[in-house]
Amino acid sequence: MERIIFHVDVNSAFLSWEAVYRLHHKGGRLDLRKIPSAVGGDMAMRRGIILAKSIPAKKYGIHTGQSIPEAVRMCPNLKLVPPNYGLYEKCSQALLEILREYSDIVEQYSIDEAFLDMSASAHLFGGAEECAREVGRRVREELGFTVNIGISDCKLLAKMASDFEKPDKVHTLYRQEVPEKMWPLPVSDLFFVGRSTAKKLFSLGIQSIGDLASADPGLLRQHLKKQGEVIWAFANGMDFSVVERVPPPNKGYGNSTTIAFDVTDAGTAKMVLLSLAETVAARLRENHVRAEVVTVGIKDCNFRSVSHQRVLGTTTNITQEIHAAACGLFDELWDGSPIRHLGIHTCRLQEAECFRQMDLFDETDYEKLERMDAAVDRIRGRFGIDAVKRAVFLDTPVDHMSGGISREKRSVDYSRLEID
């Protein structure tokens, strides 16, 4: 059977979803997609970066990850709106519901992207391109936003195709079309080629994807190690990955947070680490796994980053134990510089049912700690994450559960905003 893979990508997702919500639910008349506009973080919380931008804003050189002050200097009339991840999750689920009507093999690649294996069903809708246009039409008419759809016989080329001309387009990129459609593109456009990799390739005289495809794999391996082999294969349209309806299990769990103020004392830093340990450990328990390795990362006020990891004596998902390990790592790492950003990451996961290695000299009642964590999880699951809070966080500016999508990004009070 001929493989037919779709990659569906929402055009300017966060901004499009915000625009549609304002137009259809908040009485707005101005379509954010048609003016220079962007979704941006909270500068007061030091999260002031561009999260999504409109196509007109892109013409001014504005890009995702750019600081808001820099973006405003490039486009003084830029319309900025706050993020609303609660809305984005609902829009994403609505999109997936439509996609699952066309294939029973759908892989959510990110909040605004999905792969569909249409090999067994595209012919039911008149063929691949006809089906893709119908999907695009339904999303546009039923949900109000637009998508680009790339079609190929592998995931990589389908994803590359969906990045061609936007918005609201259907593009094909089959293997026989690679020399004509993909090789002339800049090598920086290839999936898995980031800025630093692109710089190395430029220094080797590799400017286009075609140059990369014809390059010596040995030379690429020498300069880029394993990644060199991977991107050479990608440049030649080689990808044998399958669309996975069930995502593979996580190899690690972590959270980090940018703090609204510079932290200059260890006590406050360890309180932030506790708030991160709360969320990381809760995610481990939710997925019934324990971690053996804990890593702590610190970014200071000058944006210098350091990290260190520790292998624990036994696997754990206990909040207190992860926090203790994080504090030990912090004491080894911190040089006293004001702290801007902290993170905790865990890896080397095992099933939660595994046994704990006992320590003759450790008198900690781990079973009691596990029961306490489980009780807290149940209460928060039923009544919300603020239903139970450690006393140490009372009357402090530190959120008791930090990391991931920050609290202020999960919802927006539109009564305080001027909707044009």
Which residues are marked as active site? Answer: 113
Q: Single out the residue of 364, 181, 371, 390 nearest to residue 274, CA to CA.
A: 390
Q: Say how far apart CA 210 and CA 187 lie, in whole Å.
A: 8
Within a 10 A sphere around the Cβ of 330, how many other Cβ atoms? Answer: 20
Is residue 161 a contact partner of residue 7, using CB atoms and an 8 Å limit? yes
Q: Single out the residue of 140, 133, 106 nearest to residue 120, CA to CA.
A: 106
Any bridge partners for residue 347, and if so which?
252, 293
Terminal Cα-to-Cα distance of the chain (whole angstroms): 51
Is residue 330 a contact partner of residue 269, using CB atoms and an 8 Å limit? yes
Q: Say how far apart CA 263 and CA 265 lie, in whole Å.
A: 6
Q: Single out the residue of 366, 368, 385, 367 nearest to residue 377, CA to CA.
A: 385
Our CA dihedral for 73, 74, 77, 78, rounded to 10 degrees, sits at: -100
Would you tell me the crossing angle of helices 85-99 and 13-25 to the nearest 10 degrees?
100
Is residue 298 a contact partner of residue 334, using CB atoms and an 8 Å limit? yes
Joined together, the tokens standing for residue 271 give 């309180």
Q: Say how far apart CA 131 and CA 172 lie, in whole Å.
A: 13
- Secondary structure element (H or E) that encloses residue 259, with its range: strand 252-263
Q: Say how far apart CA 163 and CA 185 lie, in whole Å.
A: 11
Q: Say how far apart CA 399 and CA 407 lie, in whole Å.
A: 9
- Secondary structure element (H or E) that encloses residue 229, with its range: helix 226-235
Within a 10 A sphere around the Cβ of 275, how many other Cβ atoms? Answer: 25
Q: Single out the residue of 105, 140, 113 nearest to residue 1, CA to CA.
A: 105
Task: For residue 15, give the 3-state DSSP assignment.
Answer: helix
Q: Say how far apart CA 282 and CA 376 lie, in whole Å.
A: 9
